[in-house]
């Protein structure tokens, strides 16, 4: 599909949500997919303001550059941002901090997300997931039904024929909506280039101290320590996706511009999650397991 067709489809989906639901929210992390989704939402309603708040589930282990970009973009648009803190969930005893070599707060986000949805009574949440990311995402509907426990069950998903969406839910249930379902990583970068969208600088090649773990380059950070056998060195890297610093890997790259990234993505054979997300490498079913628990 052309960028124009993808854009039109996504804007139609966003407007459909705004007309059918009472309390929408848009999950905005400051990553490239949510940046594009926010731009589409801006186009869907301008010159009127967006009729929903932005929500960020903050693990407390995010890249500082991404948080800085998030706050800058929110200020530019003058929209409401709700930050749901994983640290607050830990302090309240809602979740337990993981320990060990592969400890990460990534999975703990599920409880924090479901709590903020319940607190603000959101009946729908926009997410930036795409079907090309990995196998569990490929099963996903555009309108993804979640039960009163926030869980996803493939057997309970609704048919989507001719862009007709079933939006009926009972109290306590909600829908996750993915306007970028039919986009690819390459489409996202072409759209960023076409609309000249600003993105966090860590998407471009830069020098960073990293260490290799399980075939991935993890950033030296205050939240985890390399093993004695894991040597920290400086390399020229960039990030294909952004998330928790403890499980998001960098890739060796010299891409300095969006055009460079488009060329790089067009020739790669590895999905961005397969290349950069340690938590999705535990098994082929890792993402599907988390979706069933209520993950994004």
The per-residue pLDDT for 158 is: 83
Averaged pLDDT, 115-140: 87
| Mean per-residue pLDDT, 107-123 | 94
pLDDT at 134 over 90: no
> Is the pLDDT at 293 greater than 70, yes or no?
no
160 and 269 both lie in a single domain = no
User: pLDDT tens digits for 52-109?
Assistant: 999 999 999 999 999 999 999 999 999 999 999 999 999 999 999 888 777 888 889 9
Same domain, 21 and 161: yes
Verify that 177 and 53 share a domain, yes or no: yes
Q: CA end-to-end span of the chain, whole Å?
A: 25
List the domain range (segments joined by +) for residue 270.
194-281
Are 112 and 28 found together in one domain? Answer: yes
110, 146: one domain: yes
Please tell me whether residues 67 and 178 are part of one structural domain.
Answer: yes
Asked if 72 and 176 sit in the same domain, the reply is yes
pLDDT score at 30: 95
State how far the alpha carbon of 261 is from the alpha carbons of 58, 89, 185, 240, 264, in Å. Answer: 27, 37, 10, 9, 5
Whether residue 156 sits in one domain with residue 36: yes
Residues 221, 177 share a domain: no
Give pLDDT tens digits for 254-292: 999 999 999 999 998 887 766 555 555 444 455 555 555
Helix axes 3-20, 32-45, angle to 10 degrees: 70
Q: What is the pLDDT of residue 283?
A: 47
The number of domains in the chain is 2
pTM of the model: 0.90
Query: At 10, which CATH number?
Result: 3.40.50.620
Mark whether 38 and 143 lie in a shared domain.
yes
């Amino acid at each position: 599909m052309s960028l124009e067709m993808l854009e039109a489809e996504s804007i139609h989906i966003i407007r459909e949500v705004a007309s059918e639901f009472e309390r929408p929210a848009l999950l905005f992390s400051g990553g490239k997919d949510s940046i594009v989704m926010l731009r589409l939402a801006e186009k869907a309603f301008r010159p009127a303001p967006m009729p929903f708040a932005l929500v960020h589930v903050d693990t407390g282990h995010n890249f500082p550059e991404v948080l800085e970009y998030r706050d800058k973009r929110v200020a530019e648009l003058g929209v409401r941002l709700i930050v749901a803190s994983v640290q607050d969930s830990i302090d309240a005893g809602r979740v337990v901090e993981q320990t060990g070599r592969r400890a990460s707060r990534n999975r703990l986000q599920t409880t924090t997300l479901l709590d903020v949805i319940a607190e603000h009574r959101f009946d729908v949440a926009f997410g930036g997931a795409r079907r090309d990311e990995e196998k569990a995402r490929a099963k996903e509907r555009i309108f993804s039904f979640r039960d009163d426990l926030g869980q996803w069950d493939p057997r309970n998903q609704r048919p989507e024929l001719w862009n007709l969406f079933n939006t009926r839910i009972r109290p306590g249930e909600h829908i996750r909506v993915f306007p970028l379902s039919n986009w690819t990583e390459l489409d996202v970068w072409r759209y960023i280039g076409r609309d000249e969208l600003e993105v966090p600088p860590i998407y471009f090649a830069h020098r960073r101290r990293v260490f290799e773990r399980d075939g991935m380059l993890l950033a030296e950070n205050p939240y985890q320590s390399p093993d004695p056998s894991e040597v920290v060195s400086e390399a020229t890297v960039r990030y294909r996706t952004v998330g928790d610093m403890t499980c998001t890997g960098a890739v060796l790259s010299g891409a300095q511009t969006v055009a460079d990234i488009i060329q790089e993505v067009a020739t790669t054979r590895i999905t961005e999650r397969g290349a950069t997300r340690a938590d999705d490498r535990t098994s082929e079913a890792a993402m599907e397991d988390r979706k069933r628990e209520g993950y994004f």
